[in-house]
Amino acid sequence: RPADMAALRLYCYRVAGVVGLMMAHVMGISDERALKNACDLGIAMQLTNIARDVMADFEMGRCYLPADLLQKHGLNFDTYHLPEKRMTLAAAVRELLAEADEHYKSGELGTLYLSPQSALVILIARFTYARIGRKVIKAGAQAWDRRQYTSKFEKLICFTKAAFCWLGQMARRRSWSPAPIRQVWRLQ
């Protein structure tokens, strides 16, 4: 149970940010400054998972929502799951997903440092996962009545958004070649 957003961010870094870092190593990046962006995309996706799975996690005895976020909304670890608290919980989760959106933006910027092929794949994942977060927000208090996911049609929309984003990036791209990564990136 994280005490605050900094503790949650550290958890997200450890379980998903490092996956973004690993993928940067596997796919290759043209500038090691993009490691932060890769990490941020992993963090954004994990925050989305947490928002989507609030009730499923509760049923398994877990809560990843920061205590200070719950308190800000008049909730605590013992009450946030109650049906009469759903509207308030939805507001807290909306705030969590706003944090995720900032990380998605950073992750998207990092795709400029990937090969064009890798960038498109990562952009598709970025838009698809962010869409899940938007569905949680739109569902409000009913977000956890059933699992939120993207349909095939929504995935097509996400692919289209990713393709347009990717095409928009093409004008800003330089010729790509992987750069050696000489540093171990750490969450700051």
Mean pLDDT score of the chain, rounded to an integer? 94
Confidence of residue 172 (pLDDT cuts 50, 70, 90): confident
Distance between CA atoms of 39 and 42, rounded to whole angstroms?
5
Distance between CA atoms of 34 and 106, rounded to whole angstroms?
9
pLDDT digits (tens, 9 = 90+) for 83-114: 999 999 999 999 999 999 999 999 999 999 99
Say yes or no to pLDDT of 72 above 90: yes
* CATH classification (class only), 5-170: mainly alpha
Distance between CA atoms of 147 and 185, rounded to whole angstroms?
34
Distance between CA atoms of 76 and 187, rounded to whole angstroms?
28
Distance between CA atoms of 11 and 79, rounded to whole angstroms?
23
Counting residues of the chain whose pLDDT is more than 70, the rounded percentage is 99
Say yes or no to pLDDT of 180 above 90: no
Mean pLDDT of 60-76: 95
Closest CA to 188 of 24, 38, 9: 9
Confidence of residue 154 (pLDDT cuts 50, 70, 90): very high
Q: What is the pLDDT of residue 173?
A: 82
